[in-house]
Amino acid sequence: MDEKYVVIIQCDIAHRRCSGFACTDTFYNKEGMFENYEENTKYISFTCGGCCGKGIAAKLEHFARRCRKVNINKDEVVIHLSSCMVTDNHHYDRCPHVEYIKSIVLKKGYKNIIEGSYLSKNATKKREKGIYTSY
């Protein structure tokens, strides 16, 4: 099945200092975690809504309503929890609410969840050296 949408959920706190450019650019260049998506796959991103991530429920509901209008079902959507949420990085460590956010995404009917989006070479080196924790 071809995915029709990729949704990247970004940390609300990290979004205050990060435009999301690297994740978006990586998606459009079909690199890294996005290399297997078809060219016609659409992309959208939004934040988790802030700690504890409960705001994601309303955003996913709105997204689902819009998808229904154009006959896209939830199985045709892949949710990426951005690297700023799921890794130790220069913003801060892994979000303590990741599992809760994943449970909301699942409860809203989205089964295709991937942890990660863009991984910088610098952060990857720091993980290899043990400076950043690997999860």
Q: Which residue is listed with tokens 């435009």? A: 19
Find the domain containing 107 and state its range: 5-33+53-73+83-128
Q: pLDDT exceeding 90 applies to what percent of the chain?
A: 85
Over range 118-122, report the average pLDDT: 91
Within a domain: 135: no
Is 20 among the domain residues?
A: yes
pLDDT at 2: 73
Task: Provide the mean pLDDT of the chain.
Answer: 93
122 inside domain: yes
Is 43 a member of any domain?
no
- The percentage of residues in the chain with a pLDDT greater than 70, rounded to a whole number, is 99
Indicate the number of domains in the chain: 1
The reply to whether 47 falls in a domain is no
What radius of gyration, in Å, describes the C-alpha atoms of the chain? 15
Strands 77-81 and 5-10: parallel
The beta strand positions in 19-133, using DSSP E, are 42-47, 77-81, 113-115
The answer to pTM > 0.85 is yes
**pLDDT, tens only, 12-63:** 999 998 999 999 999 999 999 999 999 999 999 999 999 999 999 999 999 9
Dihedral sign for Cα 106, 95, 119, 126, please.
Answer: negative
Residue 107 domain-assigned (yes or no): yes
Residue 33 tokens, joined: 């975690």
